[in-house]
Amino acid sequence: MNFKTHILFAFLIVLYTKDYFHGGIGFVILVVIGSLLPDLDETKSYLGQRVFLIPWLSKLLFGHRGVYHSILFGLGIGYLVNLVVGYVSGVALFIGYVSHLIMDGLTKEGVALFWPLKWKMKGFVKTGSFLENVIFGIVFILILAKII
């Protein structure tokens, strides 16, 4: 999925989770950041084009949609943020991370959600296709429905 779809879906998830965790704007920002982090393993991704060296190295070592696109890695990053910043921040980052995995799990390429297990969550959406735009529109409508 494209970064815009990831951000929009993360925002939808924020609307349903931030009150539970008493999250403010920092919570929202961390969820959105978390929703972009898995694509640090792709040099052509939105984040991959803006971060120096890490995407190139990550893609070389692990490949795109490898370990970075797993719940295990998301848990690890969330746990580190929990230790350094705090529990709610770690949870926010993890929520965003998982939102990314869910959306990529709808694509034909899929994600190895439970890496190192090889099983992949797969769908039928091609990244950047009309169908992704339809999903984007549905998520947008769900956001409006929640806000209004």
Minimum gap (Å) between residue 5 Cβ and Zn ion: 10
Instruction: List Cβ neighbours of 6 (8 Å cut-off, separation of 6 or more).
Output: 35, 36, 39, 99, 100, 103
Nearer to Zn ion, 18 or 64 (CB): 64
CB of 30 to Zn ion, least distance (A): 18
**Nearest C-alpha neighbor of 22 from the set 101, 86, 74:** 86
With respect to Zn ion, which residue has the nearer C-beta, 51 or 85? 51
Q: Which residues contact 132 (CB under 8 A, 6 or more apart)?
A: 1, 2, 5, 125, 126
Question: In whole angstroms, what is the distance from residue 97 CA to residue 130 CA?
Answer: 24
User: Applying CB under 5 A, which residues contact Zn ion?
Assistant: 38-39, 104
For residue 87, the minimal CB distance to Zn ion (Å) is: 26
- Nearer residue to Zn ion within complex by CB, 18 or 41: 41
